[in-house]
Amino acid sequence: MASYVKATNFSTPDGTGNCVFDRPLSGSGASLTNLPAHTGNVAFPATQVASADANTLDDYEEGVWTPVLHAATNDDHTMSTQKGFYTKVGSVVTVACHYVHLSGGTSSGNVTIAGFPFPARNITHHTPIFNWGYCTSASITAGFHFSGYMTPNASLLTMKTWDATGGTTTTQFSEIPAYVTMAFGGTYQTNT
């Protein structure tokens, strides 16, 4: 396999336009054919080293997070499964989540989900939207579905139900009784 070098703009000291290599590029020869092939991986440091240039890719991360379901009143329910995965590239975070609500206890009121790996970007009108792709045993009418949005500058999602003539209402804990299994995902931007 041949090696190539692309030069966009350069000038030569003698003004001839000829490019002369005065020392070996690799090994003992001065030929471009001696350039080593790239066989490694692109690696980012464990702690981001931010660049001042917004167009420089300086951060990549993968990991897990634990979604935590909350009720506005009597937050005493239990969960049997709480799994979340994320990929962060620069300021863009993509998450996936799967959870099983085991019992409701006396929980009631509005439903929120906390525990996201990074807070949502703190910008006016930046409201990341999430959609549920899987749900069993929910107490909603056929044709209705769940969605949600993140609060700016917080790691918190407000769960919504598409059940109103004009759109959504905030999901109530009574709509997700015991043994509901749900999966959702989405992409949002963070400040970090």
Could you tell me which residues are beta bridge partners of residue 129? Answer: 149
| Number of Cβ atoms within 10 Å of the Cβ of 25 | 15
Q: How confident is the model at residue 28 (pLDDT cuts 50, 70, 90)?
A: low
pLDDT tens, residue by residue, 148-190: 999 899 999 999 999 988 899 999 999 988 888 999 999 999 9
| 18: pLDDT strictly greater than 80 | no
Closest CA to 81 of 104, 102, 108: 102
Q: Lowest mean pLDDT: which of 11-15, 91-95, 126-130, 140-144?
A: 11-15
Report if pTM > 0.75.
Answer: no
Q: What are phi and psi of 48, to 5 degrees?
A: -60, 135
pLDDT of res. 63: 96
- Cα–Cα distance measured from residue 84 to residue 99, given in angstroms and rounded to the nearest whole number: 8
Quick check: 31 pLDDT over 60? no
Q: Rounded CA gap, 105 and 100, in Å?
A: 14
CA distance 105 to 89: 39
Mean pLDDT estimate for the chain = 82
Least confident segment among 10-19, 26-35, 105-114: 26-35
Query: Beta strands 156-164 and 167-170: pairing type?
Result: antiparallel
- The per-residue pLDDT for 19 is 55
CA pair distance 24, 20, nearest whole angstrom: 11
Q: What is the pLDDT of residue 45?
A: 75
pLDDT digits (tens, 9 = 90+) for 75-122: 888 888 899 999 999 899 999 999 988 787 888 999 999 999 999 999
Q: How far is CA 23 from CA 10, 28, 30, 168, in A?
A: 18, 9, 6, 69
Structural domain spans, the chain: 60-189
Q: Can you give the C-alpha Rg of the chain in angstroms?
A: 26
- Helix, strand and coil percent figures for the chain, each rounded to 5: 5, 45, 55
Q: What is the pLDDT of residue 14?
A: 59
Q: Is 123 helix (H, G, I), strand (E, B) or coil?
A: coil
pLDDT of residue 126: 73
Q: What is the pLDDT of residue 170?
A: 95
